[in-house]
A and B are shown apart, each in its own frame.
Chain A
Amino acid sequence: MSSRTGARLDTKKINSELFTLTYGTLVAQLLKDYENVEDVNKQLERMGYNMGVRLIEDFLARTGSGRCYDFRDTAEKIQSGFKLFLGITPTITNWSATGDEFSLCFESNPLTEFVELPDNCLHLKYCNVLTGVLRGACEMVQMEIASWFVQDQLKNDNITELRVKFIKRLEDAIPAGED
């Protein structure tokens, strides 16, 4: 059994479209289930967190990268994570003077391809799953971070900007009775 036409399917493209559409359906389903946009944002973040917790293992196994020297190093590794899992390279900009905050700017984003937000979804953070992924992944490497969207192409901004803030280093808890 072989295809009859010369036009072979572009597997890579199809997979990214499958991902986009599946994510879209997920968001639509959540909107149906929760009715409240704030709750949907929360759920997306939570789902992302669970993904991030697992995804970091895959990331470390595939890239073989070691510990981050500093937060700038972390930023670059997050950037390469986007390259690895979503095939995009966001630019790192807007470092805070103290070096504990930066922005990731996306010109295109596979999550939002074919997406338009209706008016009643003004407060929906469509890509909120990403903030969860980052939080979960960083937590697994002993870093507490927070992230949030400051600009969003779906809300007619020119770019999508994700702000990432370092909060604190998580220490390994020593089990009681051990030194």
Chain B
Amino acid sequence: MNYDTEENLSELEWMGYEVGYRIVERLTREWVRFKDELDMIKFICTDYWSSLYHKQIDNLKTNHHGTYVLQDNEFRLLKHLANHNSNNNNKQYLRECPLLIAFTCGLLRGSLSNLGIVSIIKAEITLIPTCKFHVEVLRV
């Protein structure tokens, strides 16, 4: 396998963006207008996440200045990579993870973008299947 995947990653991220941009429109069609940015992020963590990944985000942190960290302790796309039999670190497939995460990063970016939030999304995995998404809101 070719690990020089930066181009592949941006392609996957872009595909996620397109899907996210469209899907959030359908998800929020009959929703009450969001109060503010935090309200939107909360929606992402709860209803949005559970309709796409069948569970909510486990932990949300923010510095109240446009940075949010969304943590999913058992991210669906990584669940099957985890080795539940061993107690040692689940790091075996860490190298492959970016390919599985890129789409979701795009999905988040696209969704937020259609809600009016321009952002940069980064993902961080230290132990499979836990995944942290860092959302950095860009303001003009």
Residues of A at the B interface (CB closer than 8 Å) are 1-5, 7-9, 11, 14-15, 17-18, 21-22, 25-26, 28-29
Contacts and interface: CB of A to CB of B under 8 A. Distances in A.
B23 A1 contact: no
Interface residues of chain A: helix, strand, loop or mixed (majority): helix
Contacts of A26: 15
Contact of A3 (B18, B19, B46): B46
A18 B42 contact: no
B11 interface: yes
Interface residues of chain B: helix, strand, loop or mixed (majority): helix
B31 A15 contact: no
A26 B14 CA distance: 11
Contacts of A7: 30-31
Interface in B15-71: 15, 18-19, 22-23, 26-27, 30-32, 42, 45-47, 50-52, 54, 56
B32 A5 contact: yes
B31 A5 contact: yes
Tell me which of A3, A7, A17, A25 has the highest count of chain B C-beta atoms within 10 A of its own C-beta: A25
A17 B28 CA distance: 13
B45 A1 contact: yes
Contact of A1 (B27, B32, B42, B51): B42
A2 B46 contact: yes
A90 to B, nearest CB: 25
A15 B54 CA distance: 10
Contacts of B56: 1
Contacts of B18: 21, 25, 28
B15 A3 contact: no
Given A3-B46, A5-B31, A7-B30, A15 B19 contact: no
B30 to A, nearest CB: 4
Contacts of B54: 11
A1 B45 CA distance: 9
A28 B50 CA distance: 27
B52 A14 contact: yes
Contacts of A11: 50-51, 54
B52 A18 contact: yes
A14 B46 contact: no
A2 B30 CA distance: 16
A25 B19 contact: yes
